[in-house]
Chain A
Amino acid sequence: MTISTSPKTIADWQPRADRLPPTSAVSDFIQETLGLTTRLFIQLKRRPSTLVAGIVQPLMWLVLFGALFQNIPKDLFGTDYGHFLGAGVIVFTAFVGALNAGLPVMFDREFGFLNRLLVAPLASRYSIVAASAIYIIALTLLQVVAIVGLSALLGAGLPGFSGAAIILLVVFLLVVGVTSLSLGLTFALPGHIELIAVIFVANLPLLFASTALAPLSFMPPWLQTIACLNPLSYAIEPIRYIYTNPQWQWSSIILHAPWADVSFGAALLVLVGFAVISLLIIQPLLRRRLA
């Protein structure tokens, strides 16, 4: 093993000689976020099993779980159960993807790779959150296209242009909120075992205690209350509504919470609030190891 037979020598290396002009915090943030996102996409490209499983799994949900209640009287759900379920599967897929976003970062932490990022002069550690969110959103959109496509084949029809925009917005807000919570846990918990435990516990109960699998009217009052406190319901209902009501309005009532009727616009505002609060509450966790 020998170093360099090339004509270049270390003498050409002049630290401080070409100090670079200062850059703005915004451009720094964008650059570091893009760098981190690029890494995640390279990983996905070289290890595509995540993508394959991520697309196959929700489709199996849709087909198998959708068939479970196929013979249920149609007026119970206002539509075919498979069509009813579509919105739930979209949202649950986005939710699970975002909930797991902390895992790779936790492994980076355990293997010491995260130290590389923590000793670098990052404009903000939110770039780590942003990179994960961008990655999960992109992954989720691919999954959504597959789910929407299969739903259409199963006869649920296609959402219009504005419907597609709403799905995009909902996925964006939900993923940003859940990804930041997941990364907050990643910085707070001791290791991946604990993180997996939290994910495991949060996962299915949040699904059952939402309107993903059954409408609110099926539930006892106490569960209705929980479901109406669950951000997932506020993501599911707008998507479900645009599927069945092409003439949707911001003021359309989409959820009858025990305490008030929730309009389409209000549901989206709840999601905005959820994302903003999630981003804010993890700030001290990101700063914890010396900002």
Chain B
Amino acid sequence: MAAAVIVKNLRKSYGSSIAVQDVSFEVQAGEIFGLLGPNGAGKTTTIRCLCTLTKPDEGELEVAGVSVLKDPRSARSKLGYIAQEVAPDKVLTGREMMNLQAAIYHLPKAVANQRIEFLTSILGLTEHINKKTGGYSGGLLRRLDLAAGLLHQPEVLILDEPTVGLDIESRVVVWDFLRQLKSTGTTILLTSHYLEEVDALADRVGIIDAGKVIAMGTPSELKDRLGGERITLRIREFTTSAEADSTKDLLMKLPFVQDAIINANQGNSLNLVVQASDDALSKVQAALKSAGLPVFGIAQSRPSLDDVYLAATGKTLMDAEMATAGSRNLKAEKKQSMKN
């Protein structure tokens, strides 16, 4: 299979702050590729460079076999871009919006009408399409944006945080639609800081942190590479940290327990990394019982993408979110993105 998107040694800085340090990845034709990382990791900058909105400092970019830097116009005709922030013209109706989209992609009237009708119907927009977008809900706007981005039948659809800010129901609708779209042969590249989104959708994942790709592969490859299994243990609903510490010491003595992390955000629950085996769970339970400790909840699972992120960066995605949330200057970033 040929690569539908190639990003090679991409570098972009805004003034003194480096947004993308060195990002390389390829998206194979027909697959869903997820770029996962906390906010501020460089996902949006990467996407903006691919979509010709930002000029990279260095690197090669290709969309559907076309060099983005050498032939931006042709690259634009091959990609569909769904921005993170939906920017509707509130005065226009959905249909007028779509008509404008058809005009800037040079579709003949008859073809445009046929596709608008089709997309509105499969995206459940039919009863809203003649209403002004100012009255649309977030979910409706997202779907209108999807319809608009697909109108020219792009070979590659690029979505920046496709479900950020959506309610669960709308999110599932978008996921479902993207899976169906994939089945038609459209290549999909999406960014997300939601683990479950990438896990649910992506054939392959690139984990990006501080402007660099730190891991890449299929979700199960990444998890398998990490090895072992996870046991999440809560001895009480809310465990004191002293008790969590002593429990940790106790369990670390078991030969098959490789690591144990106390998660203070989850009532001092314990996350154990264990060698994959059938009886790990019962052995842990037995050890707790002989020490006279109760068990509020215990579950065994394969490693998640968050564990992959944790192993690579030493922090969980949630921690990274929290850390960047305070230090980011969104206003300055927006200004930068307008400039370049």
Contacts and interface: CB of A to CB of B under 8 A. Distances in A.
Contacts of B69: 290
B91 A118 contact: no
Given A3-B124, A9-B122, A290 B55 contact: yes
B101 A289 contact: no
A289 B103 contact: no
A290 B173 contact: no
Nearest to B132: A46
Interface in B84-131: 85, 87-89, 91-92, 96, 99-108, 111, 118, 121-124, 126
A11 B105 CA distance: 23
Interface string B56-74: 0000000000000100111
B181 interface: yes
A35 to B, nearest CB: 2
Contact of B52 (A16, A18, A118): A118
B185 interface: yes
Nearest to A13: B184
Interface in A107-140: 108-113, 115-123
A291 B184 contact: no
Contacts of A6: 121-122, 126
Contacts of A14: 153, 184-185
Contacts, number: 148
B185 A289 contact: no
A75 interface: no
A22 B154 CA distance: 15
A113 B89 contact: yes
B52 A116 contact: no
Given A120-B76, A121-B77, A290-B54, A1 B100 contact: no
A289 B169 contact: no
A112 B122 contact: no
A38 B99 contact: yes
B60 to A, nearest CB: 14
B79 interface: yes
Interface string A273-291: 0000000000000000111
Contacts of A108: 87
A256 interface: no
A15 B91 contact: no
Give the size range of B's interface with the partner: 35 or more
Interface in A1-52: 1-4, 6, 8-16, 18, 20, 23, 27-28, 31-32, 34-36, 38-39, 42-43, 46-47
Interface stretch (B202-210, B286-294, B332-340): B332-340
A32 B77 CA distance: 14
Contacts of B183: 10-11
A195 B181 CA distance: 42
A110 B339 CA distance: 10
Nearest to A188: B339
Given A23-B106, A42-B91, 8 more contacts: A6-B126, A10-B181, A10-B184, A31-B103, A32-B103, A116-B104, A121-B106, A190-B339
30 contacts: A1-B169, A1-B170, A2-B124, A4-B123, A8-B122, A10-B177, A11-B180, A13-B122, A13-B184, A15-B154, A15-B155, A15-B185, A35-B104, A36-B100, A38-B103, A39-B89, A42-B96, A43-B92, A47-B91, A111-B87, A113-B88, A115-B83, A116-B104, A116-B148, A120-B104, A121-B73, A121-B74, A123-B106, A190-B338, A191-B338
User: Top 8 nearest A-B pairs by Cβ distance?
Assistant: A35-B103, A112-B87, A10-B180, A120-B104, A121-B77, A121-B76, A113-B87, A3-B124
